[in-house]
Structure 1
Amino acid sequence: MSAEPDHVVLCWLATADAAGQPNVSPKEVFLRPAPDEVLIAEIASARSLANIRENPRVCVSMIDIFRQRGEKLEGLASLIAPEEAEFAGLSARFARLTQGQYPIRHVIRVRVGQVAPIRAPGWHLFPDKTEADMRREALATYRVTDLPRK
């Protein structure tokens, strides 16, 4: 089962510069319009932008912390700048998500080439546990007492 975007509130974008120096940056405004594409609003990520310009190979981790599972998406990133025709429509989609509260400076498009599951160690150590068990334990661990169900 994949980390569905409506269950994932943050994703992490891993980039590396030309010398291989890594950087991981949390992203809270993103879309996954297709299994092979992730769109990320670049709000304040100068280092991610610089790294993508030098080395387009990236990794995006999407994890539902309450299900304790998600996906690792590896692929090639490209930048969509404000002067490009596609930017206006994409930034409008992001503005609807954020109610216009964040400035969208660029859109990072990731063309996903490989997808791998991410599972918390509990899934492997306790194979008899159900998703409901994992969720209940995660809610207790994070002291969440009122979480709406979708």
Structure 2
Amino acid sequence: MNTDISIQKGTPEHLSGIHDLVLEWGYAANESQTGAWLEALLESPNHQIFVAVSNASVVGWAVVERRISLRELFTSEITGLVVSTRARRAGVGRLLVQAVEDWSRTKGLSRVVVRSNVSRSESHGFYPSVGFELTKTAHVYVKDLKGSNKPGKTGA
């Protein structure tokens, strides 16, 4: 992979590359669903999506959200970060985290939080290597208000 990587704010023109990485990340979404998600992010004043581009291809993306927190009132949270398997270990994740941190500072936010699924073992070494500290583990519970959550059904 070419190591010439640029970090850009995501746009609708990045949809195809973003969607490819959504699938690589393990989510079952069609391009229309990813497009609706991207459109909502781009319209939100509390979100930003950054893309890493190499040779005109999206090789990574990160989403950051300005969140309301009891502890600090406003904080920043990375709600998604994925780097293509072909681009890992090339500094793409570090560049995306740096873009998130820069955006957060411009919003006056002094803390960045990220949550990582226990099954994403590669991220458990990455985040501490870029300055994050593990502070807690948690269980996530979901209740589907559309009625499709059947008793005994477990989420992914």
**TM-score category, normalised to shorter length:** under 0.3
Task: Using structure 2 for the length normalisation, give the TM-score.
Answer: 0.25
Structure with the larger strand share: 1
Task: Using structure 1 for the length normalisation, give the TM-score.
Answer: 0.26
Structure with the larger helix share: 2
Greater length-normalized contact order (CA 8 Å, ≥ 6 residues apart): 1
